[in-house]
Amino acid sequence: MPGSVRYDVLARAKGRCEACGVTVQEMAIEVDHIVPRNKGGTDDPSNLQALCYRCNAQKRDRDATDFGAARSAFDTRSDECVFCALPTGRIVADNNLAVAIRDAYPVTAMHTLVIPKRHVADYFDLHSAERNAIESLLQHQRAAIMAADNCVEGFNVGVNAGAVAGQTVFHVHVHLIPRRAGDMGNPRGGVRGVIPDRQKYHDSETGS
């Protein structure tokens, strides 16, 4: 197919795999047919899509699935959601699919939230590319926080998934909470403290 057609398909996909959302910076993106040629598919742009080499290898020439809906899903926003309309000034870092901000009500100094750009309530509904984007920002912000404050010796990383788990803003956000020696009397048990009576376990119990 002509190079200009390939370029147009990649531009339409915004440089992402239309199946999993991974970016061209992370993995090679190929332009291939929705309906395979061996099933009568043509080189018309309407029958072409951008897939990373992994998704394209899994699709092969037997599947005629159009992954265009995945492309548009990443742009989903909600007018009523505070995390869908963040002021630019609050964003401390971002990438194609996620942003990082400081928590407005921090547990400790530099408490950070990493948030997918797509409006999605449940962590378990994230696409793999969004999880990769979140992980990248968690690593980036961990390094930035430790460089800014040499008193930081550890972190709590957590997600509230569902109202019974304490979620109050129903747009996924991952907490990155810096920890410093002495910031609480006895930190043993860490995230087990979501149920206070179970934070501290006995030596005979297995815990981390």
Enzyme catalytic residues: 173
H helix or E strand, kind and range, residue 139: helix 128-148
- Three-state secondary-structure class, residue 45: helix
Pairing of strands 152-159, 174-180: antiparallel
Q: How far apart are CA 90 and CA 182, in angstroms?
A: 29
From the CB of residue 201, how many other CB atoms can be counted at a distance below 10 Å?
A: 13
How big is the CA angle at 174 (ends 169 and 177), to the nearest 5 degrees? 110
